[in-house]
Structure 1
Amino acid sequence: MAGIGFKLQKYFYKDDLVENAKGTLYSVLISSGPWLISVLTIAFISLYAQMNIQVTDLFILKSMICYSYAASLIIFGAIEMPITRYIADQLYKNDNSTFKSLYFMLVIASCLLGTSLCAGFYAFFPELSFTIKVTATMFFCSVLIIWISMMFLTAAKNYHQVVLSFIIGALVSVLACFYVGKDYGLTGYVIGYCFGQYIIALCLSICVFKEFKGLDYLSFEFLKYFKKCRPLIFAGLFYYLGIWIDKIIFWGGPEGEQVMSLFYTNRYYDTAMFFSYITIVPSLAIFLVQVETNFYKYYSFYFHSIEEKNNLNILNENIEDIGFSIQRTLMNLIKIQLGITLLVWFFAEEIMDALYLPSMVVSIFKYGVIGAFLQALFLICNIILLYFLNERKVVFHYFLFFLLNLVLTYVSTKMNFRYHGMGYLISSFIVLMLSLKALGKHVNQLNFFTFMSQPVER
């Protein structure tokens, strides 16, 4: 699924500063667009909302948005990888005739599931108006549609419209909140922000329809992939659970605050971690353009050599090229990201002061910055392992990340606030070490794993 990465690389082949800048901007927006633009949008809206609504209402708005993203990602994680695998296989066969019908089915299923979950969840919020509940439910369904659309558009080459969709949606959210929020308070801000997300979902859906124009027939073949690629269900599920479990624990921890009914928050931990994640945007952008495409080139050479029935020496040379490409691109990524991480770490106190955040956030932010860097690295290692179909090892790594983050974060809540965030850092470090070891072993024994994993015909 390296289509967008290959398309973006053309910007970096030229010795043109403007073209390189455009490529970097597109890489950042495509690799981190939904999350980054959403964070910036919420930040702008929050700054403006402080002048118009009570602090409690502002936290209700933030909690509603945060809970929706967390729940939607965890749900989406269970279907993301099997469906992506199906899409990739169909594209390899030059057959996208079932994509539009598949997209319709996923959207309908997501809306039904999202509506059911929200109806049950918001039943515990008698204080909220019916309008807010309906709008929040539509927002949750829209977020699910956004994730589904991005899964399809990973294979698309028209990334200009993808970027434009998020920019338009963000602007609509901000403007709608400015004009509606000041007159209608919390209800206005909920409607304003959510309306922008509806626009994003609509624009991305249009992009999908433009990219895959045929609607030849209805097919349920994709369901076989949930059985065929069962480990991938748990890989996505455990990864997103691992990302959110430390936040959930801190919401209910000693420093957590009940906003309303089932809405909880931990303003210090949440704020520090959100800013920590922003620091790894360069890693995600570099991976999209350089790591995936450079690695994929040699990966393709290796399997093409097998199809051509080349001799063992050529296969071994291809394996050396694969190992060298992984090592080179990872080292380039580490050099750039490590420099950014260390710079942010050393100036953490000044950054938090500039954002008018209390001193207790500094230690959490420092742990978060390093932990996010390590998480980005182990994510990349495991994505490469998925190319080699080492799915069980990836499931193990992601489950371990979830389990360690759960246990160590819970332990840290019983300790002094200076240790908050250390559980996430240690979890990321342990999983990174295991991921690097597994990746090195797999590449070194690639011939064995490739040929011995094939079914034996009787």
Structure 2
Amino acid sequence: MAGIGFELRKVFNQKGLFSRAKAYGYTGVIYAGPMILGGTLIFGISYLANRVGLNRADSNYLTSMITYAILSSLTVNSFFSYAVTRFASDMLYEEKEAYLLPSFLGSSATMIGLGVLLYGPFLILSGVTIVQLILNLTLFMELIFVWNGVQYLTALKDYKAILLAFLSASLVTFLVGWCLLSFKLPVLTSLLFSVCVGYGLMFLGIVYLLSRYFPLDLGMLDESFLFLKWIDKFFDLALIGFCLHIGIFGHILVVWLGPWGSPVRGLFFASQVYDVPVLLAFLTILVTTINFALATEVHFYPKYKRYYGLFNEKGTLSDIKEAEEEMLTVMMRELIALAWKQLFVTILAISAGNALLDVLPLGINDLMRGYFRILCVGYGIYAIANVILSILLYFTDYKGALIAAASFAIASPLLTFVSQYFNRAFLGFGFLVAAAIFFLIALWRLDRFTKKLMYYTLSAQPMTLVVHHGFFSRLYDYLKGVGSRASQKT
């Protein structure tokens, strides 16, 4: 969130009828744009496939290829995302902006290299054609750039350009797909190619914006992999990101491979009756995602900054206690407000969902409606739990956040696996209970931590400098040595 907060506060505090609406819109673009784009593309491609009469088997195969590329790229990104975000934030704080673009390229290259080694063999064993293999790997790499780039976009302030990049990607996808289909080209390849073009345009837009605000210094390319040291230094962050990803999406994989899943083609599995409700229910947390980013930056962060600033600015004990009480009061007020907003959205989605689901051409049946209602509640609880975990990260309680995230990662697939052997109407309850466990543990940890906040700030720190030089730091040293030798030869 480094960099965006001040600008959001300016927009939010502007006078005028639409100032707050503008602030919510900007926040949505930055934090929820890729999520919205992904859902829009999947529904849009499905619509085009139906319009041209693509048979159901090929349509499911196309959706599976796109879905697997998205989930695979998110899996790789989840391990690196929090550590990379921490690195970018530290560089901005230290006014070392020259490190940002090289680290974006280096982290993206690392994730792509690791991802291709894992995802490539899966595609080959799945029996995809050579064209489908190339397009799917291209989409996977573009998605890595997009997920990683969004973490850096929070430092920018050109909201209109970011919005234009997202909208252009969606529009171009549909136009390219429509044009290719009008020339009677193979439907499956044409639609997959159009998705690659759309995300490719989005990737180019992100790179353009980053290079515009953070010009590339060729002399800094040797430090492209410096972020690897941050993974060793903040390894708990890497585990937190990965555990959250397993918790959010692990239950889907369990259903795919279980009694209610079915093979699509090769190693691709799906569960139409479960996948569609999951995607629709997942979209209901956008309200909390946007409101949390805005509430944190506009209301909570100024109090947070003042509180910790007093420790460095020789604040008196009474000033520090007053600032702590004020900060925690604002935190609880905003947390309760977010919970009420998410509750309202969840109730609205459940009550009005039936009418909306009937309009969408998704083949919704009564069983899917039941899953949708259960998952809406589950994702609503998850959204608030994730907010609490983010607050723990603000207070650098990485241990507590890891305990909460790990419990979620274990409970979500495990309880879903168990729920498959009961009545199939209860399938989504595994994820709902896992989200509730996540929420209770995160809330317990936040309450315990904030009661002793001054102790954790002053007395729980190591007495001596701790140097973290593990596998990733050694990998950085090796890559830097290889780069130095290569530059000397040239």
| Superposition TM-score tier, normalisation by shorter sequence | over 0.9
> Counterpart of 1:331 in structure 2: which amino acid?
I
Q: Is the 8 A contact 1:238 1:402 kept in 2?
A: yes
Deviation at 1:391, TM superposition (A): 0.5
The match for 2:427 among 403, 409, 420 is: 420
Match of 1:158 in 2: 158
Matching of residue 279 in structure 1 with residue 284 in structure 2: yes
Distance 2:126 2:463 in 1: 57
Matching of residue 368 in structure 1 with residue 375 in structure 2: yes
Deviation at 1:440, TM superposition (A): 1.8
Task: State the SS of the aligned residue for 1:17.
Answer: coil
Q: Which moved more, 1:307-316 or 1:238-247?
A: 307-316
The match for 1:228 among 230, 233, 245 is: 233
Matching of residue 340 in structure 1 with residue 345 in structure 2: yes
Distance 2:252 2:456 in 1: 38
> Counterpart of 2:333 in structure 1: which amino acid?
R
Structure 1 segment 49-198 matched on structure 2, within 5 A: 49-52=49-52, 53-126=54-127, 128-182=128-182, 183=184, 184-198=186-200
Match of 1:396 in 2: 403
> Counterpart of 1:22 in structure 2: which amino acid?
K
Deviation at 1:15, TM superposition (A): 4.6
Distance 1:412 1:292, change over 3 A: farther
Deviation at 1:116, TM superposition (A): 3.0
Match of 1:205 in 2: 207
Match of 2:272 in 1: 267
Q: Which moved more, 1:295-304 or 1:330-339?
A: 330-339
Match of 1:22 in 2: 22
Deviation at 1:39, TM superposition (A): 0.6
Q: Which runs of 5+ in 1 are unaligned?
A: none
Distance 1:20 1:279 in 2: 21
Distance 1:266 1:441, change over 3 A: same
Q: Is the 8 A contact 1:319 1:444 kept in 2?
A: no
Task: State the SS of the aligned residue for 1:280.
Answer: helix
Q: Which moved more, 1:206-215 or 1:242-251?
A: 206-215
Q: Which moved more, 1:59-68 or 1:335-344?
A: 335-344
User: Over residues 335-365 of structure 1, what are the superposed CA-to-partner deviations in whole Å (9 max), with x where a residue is unaligned?
Assistant: 2221121122233433333335101011111
Q: Is the 8 A contact 2:100 2:214 kept in 1?
A: yes
Deviation at 1:273, TM superposition (A): 1.1
Distance 1:2 1:104 in 2: 19
Distance 1:435 1:221 in 2: 31
Q: Is the 8 A contact 1:349 1:362 kept in 2?
A: yes
Q: Which runs of 5+ in 2 are unaligned?
A: 466-490
Structure 1 segment 211-250 matched on structure 2, within 5 A: 211-215=213-217, 216-217=219-220, 218-219=222-223, 220-250=225-255
Q: Is the 8 A contact 1:6 1:289 kept in 2?
A: no
The match for 1:433 among 430, 437, 440 is: 440
Distance 1:166 1:45 in 2: 17
Q: Is the 8 A contact 1:33 1:166 kept in 2?
A: yes
Distance 1:110 1:181, change over 3 A: farther
Task: State the SS of the aligned residue for 1:97.
Answer: helix
Q: Is the 8 A contact 1:119 1:137 kept in 2?
A: yes
Q: Which moved more, 1:94-103 or 1:241-250?
A: 94-103
The match for 1:316 among 321, 324, 332 is: 321
Distance 1:350 1:416, change over 3 A: farther
Structure 1 segment 33-52 matched on structure 2, within 5 A: 33-52=33-52
Match of 2:480 in 1: none
User: Over residues 230-251 of structure 1, what are the superposed CA-to-partner deviations in whole Å (9 max), with x where a residue is unaligned?
Assistant: 1111111111111110000111
Q: Is the 8 A contact 1:256 1:265 kept in 2?
A: yes
User: Over residues 143-166 of structure 1, what are the superposed CA-to-partner deviations in whole Å (9 max), with x where a residue is unaligned?
Assistant: 001111112112222232222211
Deviation at 1:35, TM superposition (A): 1.2
User: Over residues 89-135 of structure 1, what are the superposed CA-to-partner deviations in whole Å (9 max), with x where a residue is unaligned?
Assistant: 11111111222222222233333334333431221133x32111101
Task: State the SS of the aligned residue for 2:269.
Answer: strand
Q: Percent identity?
A: 26
Task: State the SS of the aligned residue for 2:98.
Answer: coil
Q: Is the 8 A contact 2:408 2:435 kept in 1?
A: yes
Distance 1:75 1:455 in 2: 32
Task: State the SS of the aligned residue for 1:264.
Answer: strand
Distance 1:225 1:48 in 2: 44
Deviation at 1:276, TM superposition (A): 0.7
Deviation at 1:281, TM superposition (A): 1.2
Deviation at 1:9, TM superposition (A): 3.2
Distance 1:406 1:59 in 2: 24
User: Over residues 156-204 of structure 1, what are the superposed CA-to-partner deviations in whole Å (9 max), with x where a residue is unaligned?
Assistant: 2223222221111111111111111352210111111111111111111
Q: Is the 8 A contact 1:78 1:233 kept in 2?
A: yes
Q: Is the 8 A contact 2:288 2:383 kept in 1?
A: yes
Deviation at 1:457, TM superposition (A): 4.9
Deviation at 1:214, TM superposition (A): 4.4
Distance 2:25 2:91 in 1: 30
